[in-house]
Amino acid sequence: MVDADTSRTIVGIVGSPTFVKIWKAKSVQAFKPDPYVATVLNCAMWVFYGLPIVHPDSLLVVTINGAGFFIEFTYVTIFFIFSNWAIRKKITIALIVELVFFLIVAFITMTFLHNTKARSMLIGILCIIFNVLMYASPLTVMRRVIKTKSVKYMPFFLSLANFSNGLIWFSYALIKFDPYVMVPNGLGALSGLIQLVLYATYYRTTKWDEDEKSPEIELPRANLEGQA
């Protein structure tokens, strides 16, 4: 079975066609950065989780999520370059909030928790919460799909990858009955399924050749991803 970290990286790479479109058009059009901004913090948290001082013998967690972090940060950078000032401002604020939050968590973990068991539990729980929030980040995109009756700016393969990843790990958690894996990935599978249903519902009403004005982007209040 493909491990969860590899699955997350695959999901990140699946997003690349969206950024090829953005690069060619020199505009973010109506694409939203929410899932990518969310994944930056999530990958950073999982890298921290996999460090020997937090959770020993987790080299794969560090390497895979480290790669995922740079992939997602590259996507956010491209999005930033081709956005207007209002969207750039919101992305910047979101990234600063994520950085401050990460530093606070790292400080508390290393200052007040003196063994790897306690550190692993705290960071592991936070990563699960972030995973739920990451799966929820496409809600702003889904709202736009319903409002415009168009799936032009909701990438199909990203939705399919999220659904497949969530379903596989939800099934795995049912076999072992691991609620920490089951809950976030169950919600992820549900989120992906809703996106696929929306895609099937509004595919025929989508005007693929019609350019839309890029709307003001609403970033999620908190952003994240993953499961080790």
Per-residue pLDDT tens for 38-48? 889 988 998 99
Distance of CA 74 to the CA centre of its chain: 14
CB 106, CB 201: distance < 8 Å: no
Dihedral sign, Cα of residue 73, residue 74, residue 77, residue 78: negative
Per-residue pLDDT tens for 53-87? 998 877 877 887 788 899 889 989 988 999 889 88
Q: Give the confidence band of 112 by pLDDT, cuts at 50, 70, 90.
A: very high
C-alpha span between 11 and 17 (Å, rounded): 12
**DSSP three-state, residue 20:** helix
Q: Which residue has the higher pLDDT, 74 or 156?
A: 74
> Beta-carbon neighbour count of residue 8 at 10 Å?
27
- Which residues, 6+ apart, have CB-to-CB distance to 22 below 8 Å? 28, 29, 31, 78, 79, 82
> Crossing angle of helices 4-14/16-25, nearest 10°?
20
Is residue 143 over pLDDT 70?
yes
